[in-house]
Amino acid sequence: MKGDFGRVGVLYGGRSAEREVSLMSGQGVYDALRSVGIDAQLFDTGLYTLVDLINAGFDCVFIALHGRYGEDGTLQGALELMDLPYTGSGPLGSSLAMDKIMTKKVWLQQQLPTPAFAVLTADSDLARVAQELGLPLIIKPPHEGSTLGVTRVDDISQLRGAYKLAAQYDEEVLAEQFIKGRELTVPVLGAGKTARALPVIEIVAPDGNYDYEHKYVSNDTQYICPAELDAELTASILRIAEQAYVALGCEGWGRADFMLDEQGRPWLLELNTSPGMTSHSLVPMSAKAAGMSYADLCVEILAGARCKVQQPSIT
């Protein structure tokens, strides 16, 4: 297997607010690839430059970065210029999925279910937004993950503080209708017509608070995989996940997050194009339920590594 991929760089760490999670994800991927004989090497994009990456002599790279400068299309564009095959979505799909506002606009155009929302700036009428969306609502920075900067607002007096917290990460802030119900997530592998959803996971966090602590640190969150849903609803959620993934032009792998409301209707929240691969992460959990080991999952993702942009011939 070592000869199939050549020298593989596992890109991790980086400079985003999700650096610590990425360090754990990258270490997990590295260990898995090494365990099956692949010549993998860790490369921290937060410590080294693109020049160092060129000089490292990798034949392809596995992107285990989260957040800005790794998941947002910037790195993918640089890798295209370097003609270095990489895992995951290309520049456009990565950029779209990273922007939760643009993601929702694309999904609405495709008639996919996603909660009502508003875009907030410093001069927005917060009281009017609360009246239009109703309370409670969710305030979040549109370009961050791992629930960073996210606040549930139950009273209008909390709005200004929630906006200021999210605005520390983004100039524009997303206000989203709160959906009460069950939290679900669905990993997707492949691309286009070959995209396939893995088993649905239900996330049961203490008091419904699936924050950074309950994602990556504590063991208090319960995960039900496959989620206990009837066959028709399961099929519908899997189909929506695949449609949401394809609509954004995603490739390789990703994870669609949902809320299932009290009437049994699924609502798309966001799509991650470089999901976590830590010991608490969801994609490996779903893959295991589908009969795929962590190492097999990493190898399948790696097998899809390629440059996504068609390069014109130079004559």
Mind listing the pLDDT tens digit for each residue in 159-186?
Answer: 999 999 999 988 899 999 999 999 999 9
How much is the average pLDDT of 227-243?
97
The architecture of the domain spanning 117-177 is 2-Layer Sandwich (3.30)
Whether 305 and 87 have beta carbons less than 8 Å apart is answered as yes
The span from the CA of 88 to the CA of 108, in Å, is: 24
Confidence of residue 226 (pLDDT cuts 50, 70, 90): very high
Side-chain half-sphere CA neighbours of 268 within 13 A? 32
Whether 116 and 253 have beta carbons less than 8 Å apart is answered as no
Does 214 have pLDDT greater than 60?
Answer: no
The span from the CA of 210 to the CA of 272, in Å, is: 16
| Phi then psi dihedrals of residue 181, to 5 deg | 160, -145
The span from the CA of 12 to the CA of 14, in Å, is: 6
Domain residue spans of the chain: 2-87, 96-113+180-302, 117-177
Percent of the chain topping pLDDT 70: 93
Token output for 254: 């990703």
Whether 100 and 256 have beta carbons less than 8 Å apart is answered as no
Which residues partner with 170 through β-bridges?
none
Whether 63 and 44 have beta carbons less than 8 Å apart is answered as no
The H or E element containing residue 35 is helix 19-35
The contacts of residue 117 (CB under 8 Å, 6+ apart) are 101, 104, 133, 174, 175, 176, 177
Confidence of residue 241 (pLDDT cuts 50, 70, 90): very high
The span from the CA of 72 to the CA of 76, in Å, is: 8
Does 310 have pLDDT greater than 80?
Answer: no
Question: Tell me, what's the pLDDT at 219?
Answer: 66
Max intra-chain CA distance, the chain: 64
Confidence of residue 205 (pLDDT cuts 50, 70, 90): confident
Token output for 253: 């792998």
Mind listing the pLDDT tens digit for each residue in 32-71?
Answer: 999 999 999 999 999 999 999 999 999 999 999 998 899 9
DSSP 313: P
pTM: 0.90
Angle at the Cα of 230 from the Cα atoms of 228 and 233, rounded to 5 degrees: 110
Question: Tell me, what's the pLDDT at 99?
Answer: 94
Cβ-defined contacts of 275-278 (< 8 Å, 24+): 275/187, 276/21, 276/24, 276/25, 276/66, 276/146, 276/215, 276/216, 277/24, 277/25, 277/26, 277/28, 277/29, 277/64, 278/21, 278/24, 278/25, 278/28, 278/216
How far, CA to CA in Å, does 62 sit from each of 55, 73, 82, 137, 292? 17, 14, 15, 36, 18
Dihedral of CA 105/257/21/188: which sign? negative
Class of domain 2-87: alpha beta
Question: Tell me, what's the pLDDT at 143?
Answer: 85
Does 147 have pLDDT greater than 80?
Answer: no
Tell me which residues are annotated as active site. Answer: 18, 146, 216, 255, 257, 270, 272, 276
Query: Which CATH superfamily, name and number, covers 96-113+180-302?
Result: ATP-grasp fold, B domain (3.30.470.20)
